[in-house]
Structure 1
């Protein structure tokens, strides 16, 4: 019974959509038929005859009366259609809030032509078309004024709001309206000129240009549609939860590109400039849809919408499952609207809860590949090979070429942190090939040696609670010439409120004596990350204090603070300058001690190098 109801609803929706499209197609023709009996020519004797039938007098008698009655009946059709469109737009917000996707699909001939929030242009354009049709029955000056203002408002509103979903449609609308407006203004200026031939030539050229432009755009659209059937713009669409897997997706995209130029990838932070085009990318421009299946991915409405559209468009789909991901069961699918209340927003794009629930059940039939819980280049290479059907040209542990002279530290228990470190290393290698062709990212079983003079610390959520990070920082403290630069890679990063180990706490404070640089994949495109990496490289090989120096600064600052707090309170009056002088003397003395300690460390270094090396780009 439910199947019959669903089938009937789909048929009714399709029928209504077809009738609506036909009315929209012939709307101007019906409106023009309504005004036809009232378009009359004035003769020298004062008689009025119809422009299209000179034997019919415009006197509302006989044949003219019959035509007038018929035009009155015909005008009910465009008026009814206009009223219906207005009713659809008035009820649309309520329908969308209720998740009524069948209603949106039935009215797609009105709604889905425009971007969400610009549906009101449907009625505005219909009213514009009616007024343009009525201008011939007005006197010449009034008609020119009305039509000129309509075209000017059309150009201005379309250029400002850009309501069409397709950018091509927006540009064509602006160009055609601008050309018509130019012809109209030219005709109004030269209406009294005796030389009509140049004006006719210009109008003919403009009209031909409009026709040729429309035909060219139509041909381009057809060719593009046919070509998309054989060659997609993107080989892979990487759907992911940004806060959970943006770094992994960025690294995966880079590895896919290295396997071949044909393995193009869609990453929203790089390619998505208009949210209304999102579902068009994964349903029409993608060969393989890849869902990066983390724990919360199915609770993200946009990721779920992408998955629904990929299923309906029959796009090849692969799941890259993480350890914390579980396939949804029937209970989760049935209660999905309670888990993700804003899933109703997809009704704006003609997709409702029923399609989402069917997609959740369909996931059990989709091919999947499990990502190893312990991140490594080998596991990443295996995932890329699974997607592309190719083999890796790199070794298991490192790429070809000498290793870099800098070391990147990241929480090895956090896959996203390790992936971000690899991404940063990829950019650093491109920027500083003379420093090594393979970035070194320390693994859980690695250690910081006394020769590791330059370190990058990838700061992520709870990274300082990792025992590996603590061990590495304590080891870095023993490196005489160690320079350590913190890099913020997570918007949720916060300094720990309490650290039990005093030495470890002092190192953490010393790390942030200098300002950390942001490198956050979840908030940046590939171009932005390249710029951030350039800033990191300049700082790492620029004027960066050594870790021991910063520890001395932190320790002396704490001693100064305690010493100032222990000073007995001075007299209530006239003591500001004296207290200030005492504080300045203490700070000056401690600064001299820090400088002397730094010079001592310089003499004790095993190999004396330059304080900094400027990087040439």
Structure 2
């Protein structure tokens, strides 16, 4: 119970030791001059959480009551605790109880994370100065030390600067680096080791909210700054207490009404917060594609782009073409047309292209393998492939057949396309996506998912047939989603050499099943090779089949004999 209370105090916005510093004339039940023994114990415990060791009378041990010594003790509290953890780890290692170094690193990280508010406040103590009647200012904690004029305060300030740089600032820089590089680490296959090393920062929250640890650290840093910035006006730190204390209105009733209205405003704002609707349709790019020919590729591109900016996939809104065209017209800056074999023959894709052309939206054609430019004659024949209902549906949105012909000519002959290779390593497709983002004016933080020299040690292997490019893209999408959900390194394997390299580290083999996959001889050979017992690890991979195609059918007995 006591540990839970200390953890709450150290991670919350509320600093109990600051309550006694507010300039409020407390009534008898809560007076800090006359307190009962349990209340005094609670106050002393909160001081201990804030590294205030005055109440334990350290002068009895050191023979002096030096304020600098107290301050140095506060600054060294966390480093000494981490050093003790390191010594304990070394001792256990000498005794034969081997533990990974990440264990002591995470223990120290948990302690730093829990007491970050206390660490930051301790380093800023020399700058908490209050004004004196003679115009000078002195330290709040040590009123006998004149701020900015005495040599003793200069020593305090120097120690404070060293403490800020080596502790809270260094912690914030490290945490910022970890959070901002974590998505690229996961996408690059190094997420497992990275998240294990920084488990104290990443594993306390849901995978989708991995960044919240950084939010808490910055929030606590701002909270620690408030007593320093607003040290002369403590009522501002607690606005409602300021209203109750100063009572600015002439009548007591007016002051009470003011307080109640302030309460009502806060309650109203807090209650209305969950009802706020964000404009999810607003995006920096729209990916227009043919679902059968480029659905998985577009989904892969969306996952990569989402690490840097917002993007909208048109297949997510096919049930409402009006909204789809309106998003292109009013809520996006770029349209990316994924040119696959049958895209230009689809009516809703034609509507997207015409809408972008009419409204002068920046459009980038992405030329994929298998796409062939249409001749003028073939281009004019495209509307004959549509049903009367589809033609009427486009006309209801102001899209005429002549507009389609002109927009197709604009797309194929006036715009500069980017080339997208559908096969090969995924890093090639990611490079094209990064180039695409640069063309669209979007910032990117990385170039590829894997750094040079990276040795993959996946726990899960993903295998499928690569007869069609969409199958490979589906595997790559599955890899990204699985890594983000499990925080485990995964790898899409393409050949025998890659399987042999990754197999000693892997435990599971996931086979994505598509229609006709069992007739692919290359897939069968790779599957048989991957399921053999590994000579180095002396274990066989556990096979996990996943049906990724609704048209996949399990063969009957005759079908197996035919295979």
Larger Rg: 1 or 2?
1
- The reply to whether TM is greater than 0.5 is no
**TM-score under structure 2 length normalisation:** 0.44
Relative contact order, CA 8 A, sep 6+: which one is greater?
Answer: 2
Q: TM-score, normalised to structure 1's length?
A: 0.40
